[in-house]
Amino acid sequence: MGMTDNLLSTSQWLITAVLFAVILLKAVRSVDWPALRKDNALQHSFFGAAVILGFVWQLRAGISPGLAIHIFGITVITLMLGWALAVLAGLLALVITVITGREPLLMFAANGLITVMVPALVSHGIMLWERRRNFRNFFAYIFFCGFFGAGLSVAAAGIVMCLMLWSSGTYSFDELVHEYLRYLPLFMIPEGFINGTFVTGLMVFHPDRLSTLDQSRYR
């Protein structure tokens, strides 16, 4: 999902830019910068995630403007780094797509909101829900936070994008249903599988890389 053309009205563009700035400011203020500077492994994870996402997002499919699809990968990054660093890593990846010409600079805020911020916040919310439920089986973390969280995050991002395109008058509701919304469940499956598989691998071999994982709960 990415707006490769200016498909929003001026008022939508301004509202999107304000929301983008508010969430970005909150993310910057939420990062533990001293800990990041001291933790080389965390730095490698952060910059590595940004570079990998930047190149993965070069691969996309779609016909109509604004309705392209690609793997997000934000859920596993959120579980690894926390939502704030995941947002910053995702925005660095988005800079790569702008440099390579895959996304326009004008739509950076809109694409950042849809592709990065909404999935990261949804994934973070599901992680908090799983934590509040206090499940004692580690499969709950893998399934709810990894597989289910990734699928739900891409669905939320897709719905937000469609609402923006519908309210701007770019597409009618019937066009969005025909060209995108009816296929959304199919997009959720590979997103959930890829993110869930990576989360499973990290939990088995490198659980310390999952900063949101409370290992003491699972016995």
Is residue 198 over pLDDT 80?
yes
**Torsion, CA 164, CA 165, CA 167, CA 173, rounded to 10:** -120
Q: Give the predicted TM-score (pTM) of the model.
A: 0.92
Angle at 107 between CA 12 and CA 48, to 5 degrees: 130
Are 184 and 213 a contacting pair, CB within 8 Å?
Answer: no
DSSP labels, 120-140:
HHHHHHHHHHHHHHT--SHHH
pLDDT at 75: 96
- The separation between CA 203 and the C-alpha centre of its own chain, rounded to angstroms, equals 20
Mean pLDDT across the stretch 146-154?
Answer: 94
Least confident piece of the model among 6-10, 168-172, 213-217: 6-10
The model's pLDDT over 47-82, given as tens digits with 9 standing for 90+, comes to 999 999 999 988 876 656 666 777 889 999 999 999
The model's pLDDT over 82-126, given as tens digits with 9 standing for 90+, comes to 999 999 999 999 999 999 888 888 889 999 999 999 999 999 999
Closest CA to 115 of 146, 160, 63: 160
pLDDT at 70: 79
How far apart CA 146 and CA 10 sit, in angstroms, is 37
- Which SS3 state, helix, strand or coil, does residue 71 take? coil
Mean pLDDT across the stretch 24-46?
Answer: 94
Domain locations along the chain: 10-217
Is residue 19 over pLDDT 70?
yes
Are 204 and 138 a contacting pair, CB within 8 Å?
Answer: no
Is residue 5 over pLDDT 80?
no
Are 150 and 72 a contacting pair, CB within 8 Å?
Answer: yes
Mean pLDDT across the stretch 185-206?
Answer: 91
Average pLDDT, the chain: 89
- What CATH class is the domain 10-217? mainly alpha
- The separation between CA 73 and the C-alpha centre of its own chain, rounded to angstroms, equals 6
pLDDT at 219: 65
